[in-house]
Amino acid sequence: MASHPELPERDRRVLGVVVQAYIDQGEPISSLWLAGRGLGVSSATLRTIMARLEEQGFVRQPHTSAGRVPTDLGYRSYVDQLLVARRSARAAPHIEARLRRAGSVDDLLSHASQEVSRASHQVGFAIAPPADSATLEQLDLVALEGGKVLVVVIAAGGHVSHTVLEPAEQFDRDELQRAANYLNSEFKGRTLLDVRQQVVQRLREERTLYDVLMARALRLAYETLAELSGGPAVYVQGAALMIEEFGNDDPDITLETLRTLLQMMEEKARLVRLLDEYLDAGGLTVVIGSEHLAPDLQRFSLILAPYSDGRNRGALGVIGPTRMHYGRALNAVESLSKALARTVSARP
Amino acid sequence: MASHPELPERDRRVLGVVVQAYIDQGEPISSLWLAGRGLGVSSATLRTIMARLEEQGFVRQPHTSAGRVPTDLGYRSYVDQLLVARRSARAAPHIEARLRRAGSVDDLLSHASQEVSRASHQVGFAIAPPADSATLEQLDLVALEGGKVLVVVIAAGGHVSHTVLEPAEQFDRDELQRAANYLNSEFKGRTLLDVRQQVVQRLREERTLYDVLMARALRLAYETLAELSGGPAVYVQGAALMIEEFGNDDPDITLETLRTLLQMMEEKARLVRLLDEYLDAGGLTVVIGSEHLAPDLQRFSLILAPYSDGRNRGALGVIGPTRMHYGRALNAVESLSKALARTVSARP
DNA sequence: TGTTAGCAGTCTCCCTTGCCGAGTGCTAAG
DNA sequence: CTTAGCACTCGGCAAGGGAGACTGCTAACA
């Protein structure tokens, strides 16, 4: 993690105080102010320390006669300290209770993203785990006009998803009903992953299927599953809260940066792709400003925690300015991800 | 509509030019500039006209030696002119085609709100018509952990909605299956409104139902329908586009006003309640700035058109700064609402 | 050798001043 | 009723001048 040169203990403490103070106040931190903070050294010494920190890239001066402001590297060091020092967070029971009340996965994640946003005062998001290992409860086929077919897939644990297909061949209502019956009797209780494999296999093996309807039903199922695995659902919200938190006193929150963030929030597909890259990391992950690959996020920090439903992993986290209150945000993300994991794996 | 004093023809023309120019340029309009616009009068005359317009409240001066800027009343007059003068808009065929490709109501409205946002460069929204008069296609009951029940209601035309109930009495999987069968056989093909009435009636009439399961199924259906009528779905998006359109050159778009707008976009329930009030008006409705009842919207204008699926009405529209390009926005809303109406009533 | 006080230097911020130019309202003539 | 002309007002910009905030540096000190 710390590929940059190791800092002497005292320098690190000073850096910590600087970052914390800047997060609180939003203004450059001066040596004089620091001297009054019980660090046991005078402002002059702090000046030499700050100069050293600046040389190493942890802080910078907006202009010659200003105090110091953390760089992204400075935030990084601070966050690394924080991650070691802090005790891991527990979910507030009333929040977890609220999550438990949610039924479908949709509901649950929408609540979770809202709660994590509220607790951190940042933009919150939650991504559903792929439903692959949930077992199929019910599959409905409903005829729409123009030969289109509405497919509703219900899986255990409250996954509900639907899509519309335009199969090459027409189905009438009766055929659809029988196709649905066939698929249900055949696949109910299996995991969706299983179902997909089974469907593919059967289509391949029994190329000359004796029952035409059965073959068509399988093709329909195949298309459906391909469609549904298109992208996991993601819920994002809380931009208003974030603006409120940083008001006008953060030079990084301008209309322009806000625009890029909103754009990202609305282009869910891109967001998911982006977050996916960080999901491999494993535990609680923090990506700060310029550490991002995507240029649109370079003015923001991201905190993300994966959670598991027992088999598959989703993720939950927050996005906010690099000057966010990391302590609070880390707690929010960690506790919510735990609560979410518990809630989601309490399901059958 | 025009409860304010009637304006002489020429004054109205001048006001029109002023508003149009201000919308285009975002800067106060001076008499000298106006004189070069082929109105056939000198700047001096324009000054007396502007003074009159100001006295009557149509324009105002940001400061003594500035040009004029429209007031909300000025925009109102301009829009009223526009509504009379313009030819009604047709939907671009490729947009309508894109809408037709959507299957479920969810999909359709999400696309529609996106299209109207793109076409107008404002925040776009779309509200689903109540599904009351759609006929029930299928109702699924799925047991979740903790005695909760997932209910999925599929209605003709691609309405899919689901909710989770916690019935007082427990159902096991088998009972749920039979309850679903019973409800489906009983109510499939009826409108949801019908179903609700029927359910209530039966519960009342046959207080001592001979079949216990049947009674419980009815109670479940009752709860479901109460839950689902909770609030129609609304889709809102395009804040990033709106910011892009007005960039930094609109004094009305500040972080603070943006925050209130985002808050409104995220609190869907409140938004729906608000829009509902305007829905009664009938046709294409424009509400400008201070004409709004809600204080959070007083810096924004709203354009809204109802559309009908044959029986029930939904709505679609845009929200943007009072300085929005009304002509383009009106066209966007009108054409999309027509396209949406056609698309939605082409369904069975 | 590391720490501290003192000091000179730098740069921002804010206020004032003066000026230009934009745009107006008013007035008197057409 | 319209127009030209004129005096007036006000915002915006640039220049100038403290005041104040911090710094880096140096020299003394433990």
What count of CB pairs under 8 Å joins A to B? 117
CB–CB contact B102 A255 (8 Å) = no
Give tens-digit pLDDT for B112-151: 999 999 999 999 999 988 888 888 988 988 887 778 888 8
Q: Judge whether B214 is closer than 8 Å to chain A, CB to CB.
A: no
Residue A318, token pair as written in the block: 């927050």
Q: In A, which residues are within 8 Å of B250 by CB distance?
A: none
A157 to chain B, closest Cα gap in Å: 6
> Distance between CA A306 and CA A283 in Å, rounded?
7
End-to-end CA distance of chain A: 38
Q: What is the pLDDT of residues A65-109, one digit of tens each?
A: 889 999 999 999 999 999 999 888 887 889 999 998 877 888 899
State what percent of residues in chain B have pLDDT above 90: 51
Contact A107 B138 (CB under 8 A): no
User: Which residues, 6+ apart, have CB-to-CB distance to A170 below 8 Å?
Assistant: A147
Q: DSSP for B97-156, please give it.
A: HHHHH--SHHHHHHHHHHHHHHHHTSEEEEEPPPGGGSBEEEEEEEE-GGG-EEEEEEET
Cβ pair A102, A115 in contact under 8 A? no
Give the mean model confidence (pLDDT) for residues A106-125.
Answer: 95
pLDDT digits (tens, 9 = 90+) for A205-249: 766 656 777 888 888 899 888 877 666 789 999 999 999 998 777
Specify the pLDDT at position A307.
93
The secondary structure of A264-305 as a DSSP string is: HHH-HHHHHHHHHHHHTT-SSEEEEGGG-SSGGGTTEEEEEE
Better-scored residue on pLDDT, A177 or B49: B49
- Tell me the mean pLDDT in the region A166-187: 87
pLDDT of residue B147: 81
CB-count burial class (<10 Å; 0-12, 13-18, 19+) for A41: middle
* A270 interface with B at CB cutoff 8 Å: no
Q: Which residue has the tokens 């509900």?
A: A160
CA of B13 to C1' of D1 (A): 18
Look-up of token digits 């299956």: B177
Asked if A239's CB is within 8 angstroms of B255's CB, the reply is: no
Note the pTM of the prediction, 2 decimals. 0.90
The distance (Å) linking the CA of B41 with the C1' of C28 is 19
User: How far B207 CA lies from chain A's nearest CA (Å)?
Assistant: 30
The torsion angles phi and psi of B102, rounded to 5 degrees, stand at -65, 150
Q: What does the pLDDT read at residue B323?
A: 95
Nucleotides of C under 7 A from a protein CB: 3-6, 9-12, 21-27
Question: How would residue A346 be classed by pLDDT, with cut points 50, 70 and 90?
Answer: low
Average pLDDT of the segment spanning B312-317: 91
The rounded Cα B50 to chain-centroid distance in angstroms is: 35
C-alpha closest to that of A189 among A136, A133, A132 = A136
Give the pLDDT confidence score for residue B100 in this predicted structure.
86
Tell me: the pLDDT tens digits for B15-67? 999 999 999 999 999 999 999 888 888 899 999 999 999 999 999 999 888 89
- Collapsing DSSP states into helix, strand and coil, what is residue A59? strand
CB B42 within 7 Å, strand D: yes
pLDDT in tens, B213-248: 788 888 889 988 887 766 678 999 999 999 999 877
pLDDT on residue A3: 44
Taking only the tens place, the pLDDT of each residue in A137-170 is 889 888 877 788 888 898 888 888 888 888 888 8
Look at residues A270, A298, A304 and name the one whose alpha carbon lies nearest to residue A285: A304
Amino acid identity, position B302 = L
Angle (CA) A271-A275-A278 rounded to 5° is 160
* pLDDT of B2 strictly over 50: no
pLDDT computed for residue B243 by the predictor: 94
A198 has a pLDDT exceeding 80: yes
What's the pLDDT at B216? 85
Calculate the average pLDDT of chain A: 88
Name which of A170, A189, A176, A182 is nearest A214 in CA terms: A182
Q: Rounded CA gap, A147 and A143, in Å?
A: 7
Say how many CA atoms lie within 13 Å of A80 toward its Cβ: 15
Cα A288 from Cα A273, distance rounded (Å)? 18
pLDDT of residue A1: 47
Whether A107 has its CB under 8 Å from any CB of chain B: the answer is yes
Which positions ≥6 away from B103 have C-beta within 8 Å?
A144, A148, A150, A163, A164, A165, B158
Interface test with A, best of B162, B188, B347 (most A CBs within 10 A): B162
Name the residue among A247, A259, A347 with its Cβ closest to that of B144. Answer: A347
Alpha carbon separation from A336 to A97, A100, A307, B278 (Å, rounded): 12, 12, 10, 39
Q: Is the CB of A208 under 7 A from strand D?
A: no
Q: Which residue type occupies B66? A: A
> In terms of C-beta distances under 8 Å and separation of at least 24 residues, what long-range contacts does B39-46 make, across chains too?
B39/B13, B39/B14, B41/B10, B46/B14
pLDDT of residue A4: 52
Cβ of B239 and A262 within 8 Å? yes
pLDDT tens digit sequence for B261-289: 999 999 999 999 999 889 887 789 999 99
Which range among B159-163, B254-258, B343-347 has the greatest average pLDDT?
B254-258
The three-state secondary structure class of B246 is: helix
Closest among B171, B170, B137 to B154, alpha carbons compared? B137
pLDDT at B210: 62
Closest nucleotide to B55: CA versus each C1' = C25
Beta bridge partners of B165: B149
Closest-CA distance of chain B to residue A244, Å = 7
Read off the pLDDT band of B3 (50, 70, 90): very low
Verify whether the Cβ–Cβ distance A140 to B154 is below 8 Å. Answer: yes
More confident residue, B168 or A25: A25
Q: Does B253 touch chain A (CB under 8 A)?
A: yes
Phi, psi angles (nearest 5°) of residue A282: 115, -95
| Percent of the residues in chain A that have a pLDDT greater than 70, as a whole number | 95
Rg (CA), chain B: 26
- More reliable by pLDDT, A110 or B215: A110
CB-based contact, B98 to chain A, within 8 Å: no
In terms of Cα–Cα distance, which of A341, A338, A281, A271 is closest to A310? A341
Q: A246-265, pLDDT tens digit by residue?
A: 877 777 788 889 999 999 99
Instruction: Compute how many other C-beta atoms are within 10 angstroms of the C-beta atom of residue A33.
Output: 17
